[in-house]
Amino acid sequence: MNNMRKTNVSLSEEEISKMKEVDWAAYYSTQHNRDAVQIRTCPKCKVMIFPQPGDTEFFCKRCGEKIAL
């Protein structure tokens, strides 16, 4: 699957140089992606689970295991 999308937007040389100067590693380490933090795995069947923010327990839809969050 190709995740690239062609656009008709062109960037100036100044905008390109600003993008290249950004320390992306530091940017992503300080940004907290709420979805990525919430992804867990079931201890019994190892399937990925996605509890909603604020949930205190979750039932695995594959094996039925009750998981305390």
Examine residue 37 and state whether it is found in any structural domain, yes or no. yes
Residues 6+ apart with CB under 8 A from 40: 48, 49, 50, 51, 58, 67, 69
Examine residue 50 and state whether it is found in any structural domain, yes or no. yes
pLDDT of residue 21 exceeding 60, the answer is yes
Examine residue 28 and state whether it is found in any structural domain, yes or no. yes
Examine residue 8 and state whether it is found in any structural domain, yes or no. no
Number of structural domains, the chain? 1
**Residue 33 lies in domain:** 13-68
Q: How confident is the model at residue 58 (pLDDT cuts 50, 70, 90)?
A: confident
Examine residue 5 and state whether it is found in any structural domain, yes or no. no
Give the lowest-confidence range in 3-17, 26-40, 42-56.
26-40
Examine residue 4 and state whether it is found in any structural domain, yes or no. no
Q: What is the pLDDT of residues 28-49, one digit of tens each?
A: 777 666 555 577 889 999 888 8
